[in-house]
Amino acid sequence: MQQPALTPYLRRLNDQREHIQACLESLLETYRVQPVGNGFIDLILPRDTAVRLISDLERMSVAIERVTWWCHSTPESRLVLGCHHGLGGPRNRNGEGWFSECVYYPDFYLPEHGVDLDAANVDPAELSERCGHLTRHYLQHVLSSEWFYRPCLHPGLWLYVPDDW
């Protein structure tokens, strides 16, 4: 059975795999990202830091596929905000507390906002810029008005990369 042809975006990532992965790992370290598991999904970090990371991802032409939500539960947030607001999750390796996955809150999924991640005719830089712009706008201007918003929420970025990354 023949594999489907890769889009220009995914072909570029595969062709430059080692370089792009090394750059991504460096960015995750620089921004003190809390990954959940392996790969480049559920990359937890504060909202303001996520906005800066997204700009760097755009410069690398790496697109975001979705954003999930994680409650950062600390002794103070438990007292003030009633945390935790989700299920289990990892301890915060960059400070106190832990993260609980808020599976009952809707993901921000780029295809639901008009982005065709698998379009055959889209330039990789154009795709990452569109995803980055929509995600930054949502985090900066929309999230705080959502019914589920709480100040303890941290986004979990899912990068649109090949499955075997």
Instruction: Give the strand pairing for 43-44 and 98-101.
Output: unpaired
Q: How far apart are CA 27 and CA 23, in angstroms?
A: 6
Q: How far apart are CA 157 and CA 35, in angstroms?
A: 9
pLDDT value, residue 88: 82
Alpha carbon dihedral 21, 23, 28, 30, in 10-degree steps, equals 160
The string over 143-159, giving b where at least 16 C-beta atoms fall within 10 Å of a residue's C-beta and e elsewhere, is: beeeeeebebbbbbbbb
Decide if pLDDT at 76 tops 50.
yes
What is the tens place of the pLDDT at every residue in 112-162?
999 999 998 889 999 999 999 999 999 999 999 999 999 999 999 999 999
Decide if pLDDT at 29 tops 70.
yes
Q: What is the pTM assigned to this prediction?
A: 0.92
